[in-house]
Amino acid sequence: MKKETAIINVGRDKKWTHGIVNPPIFRASTILFDTIDEMHFAAKNSTKGEMFYGRRGTSTHFAFQHAMTELEGGIGCALYPSGVAAISGALLSFLKAGDHLLMVDCVYEPTRILCDSLLKNYGIETTYYDPLITNDIESLIRKNTKVLFLESPGSITMEIQDIPTLAKIAHIHGLTVMLDNTWASPINSKPFEMGIDISIVAATKYIVGHSDVLMGIATANEDHWKTLCQNSYLLGYCTSPDDVYLAARGLRTLSVRLAQHEKNALQVANFLSLKKEVDHIRHPAFESCPGHAFFKRDFSGSNGLFSFVLKRGSKKAVNAFVENMSHFKIGFSWGGFESLILAVTNIDKIRTATQWDNSKPLIRLHIGLENVEDLIADLENAFGRYNQALINDNK
């Protein structure tokens, strides 16, 4: 089945939908049984779609979990109240005191803070590695290294990793390999075919797609599903069926939304690449993006999220750029229908294995579903404000 068709069909088995097109919202804590045997059967089969207790999910959850597992290509997935919860849930499931974790340097900032605070306090040591590392990852693996964590492309700086090579070497040493696959979504990469054991997606972004629900998903392969599932249950992670309903609804239009985000973003990135003020574009589909060759090999497309680096600029000039836009709004997160802009000024502070030159300001864009000519005109005006501010700086 082609991916556009799969997205429409997955998770719509009649046993969950009762024949209704969208799986309905089943809200429950208590589930009622006629007999003790029935109750025991449900307890034993709660991961196979038997309703047992609300925390384990209802038909609403099972339908969506089934859909996501099929799309990602694992054998089961756990739902979490946010993307960050999926990351912490996966890491805590496979690490214990005395263990060592290899974490990519361009990781989402809250993941880094988790490693440097809570995991550190639990006696788990983290080493950050260069996102562009390939075979040399082997030199960083120790006797007590248990998990290799990837995020590709990286948050903000967008480096693309050599996922298959890193996974292969990690497996030789018995590591569990996790990937934050939020950027690709289930559409643009096949994490399990590249050797990933656990693929994590912040559904908050493109799956929900409307900036109104937080949700995380961790999908596992055969060897890792039981542990992941058990531990997510023990940690008490669960999601409301209303949120799952919205995520499942968002999922059905993912392929058309993503295609339009991608098309608009490529046009905007092309426009930016011709501006004399721009140093380079950090969009995985552009040769100027570190790891671009891995993108061409491993991904089937891009989306609306990318960054670009200016040749120079003061804080005032950058603020003049990002403030007073007509269509781009200042705000965290991404993946909704709307365009967003962010000036990121602390990159040197959230990189420890690699260097970042802070004298060249970085701006991250999420390109929404507006008309692309309106977006380009908005950016053209921003360059006007920025250049004026640079002139004023020198007065």
Mark 26-55 with x for binding to ligand PLP (rule: CB under 6 A) and - for no binding.
------------------------------
Judged by CB under 6 A, how many residues of this single chain contact ligand PLP? 14
**Strand residues in the chain grouped as ranges (E):** 76-80, 100-104, 125-129, 145-151, 176-180, 198-202, 216-220, 278-282, 305-310, 329-330, 340-344, 362-366
**Which of 125, 157, 87 shows the shortest CA–CA distance to 364?**
157
- Residue 303: CB atoms within 10 A of its CB come to 26
The verdict on 284 binding ligand PLP (CB under 6 A) reads no
Length of the chain: 395
Residues numbered 211 to 250 that lie near ligand PLP (CB under 6 A) are 214, 216
- For 386, counting Cβ atoms within 10 Å of its Cβ (0-12 exposed, 13-18 middle, 19+ buried), the class is buried
Residue 75: phi and psi, rounded to 5, are: -115, -10
Q: What would you report as the CA-atom Rg of the chain, rounded to the nearest whole angstrom?
A: 22
Residue with Cβ nearer ligand PLP (17 or 333): 333
**Under rule CB under 6 A, residue 84 binds ligand PLP:** yes
Find the binder of ligand PLP among 94, 108, 294, 306 (CB under 6 A): 108
Within residues 144-163, the interface with ligand PLP by CB under 6 A covers: 151, 155
Please indicate whether residue 393 is annotated as part of the active site: no
And the tokens for 302?
Answer: 């891009």
Closest CA to 184 of 91, 284, 92: 284
Query: Is 204 a binder of ligand PLP (CB under 6 A)?
Result: yes
C-beta separation of 322 from 363 below 8 A: yes
Of 182, 189, 219, 264, the one binding ligand PLP (CB under 6 A) is 182
* Binding window for ligand PLP (CB under 6 A); candidates: 79-87, 138-146, 268-276, 361-369: 79-87
Residue 102 CA to residue 173 CA, distance in Å, equals: 13
Q: Give the residue with the Cβ less far from ligand PLP, 333 or 381.
A: 333
Of 99, 162, 180, 197, the catalytic one is: 180
Q: Give least dist CB 323 to ligand PLP, A.
A: 23
302 binds ligand PLP (CB under 6 A): no
The residue from 15, 44, 55, 316 that is catalytic is 55
The CB-of-332 to ligand PLP minimum distance in angstroms stands at: 8
Q: List Cβ neighbours of 158 (8 Å cut-off, separation of 6 or more).
A: 106, 282, 283, 284, 289, 290, 306, 307
351 is catalytic: no
Contact 350, 128 (CB under 8 A): no
User: CB under 6 A: which stretch of 29-37, 80-88, 293-301, 354-362 binds ligand PLP?
Assistant: 80-88
- 55 tagged catalytic: yes
Nearest CB to ligand PLP, comparing residues 205 and 282: 205
Instruction: Determine contact, residues 118/148, Cβ cutoff 8 Å.
Output: no
> Please, which residue, 151 or 262, has the CB nearer to ligand PLP?
151
Query: Which residues are tagged catalytic?
Result: 55, 108, 180, 205
Task: Write out the residues near ligand PLP by the rule CB under 6 A.
Answer: 82-84, 108, 151, 155, 180, 182, 202, 204-205, 214, 216, 333
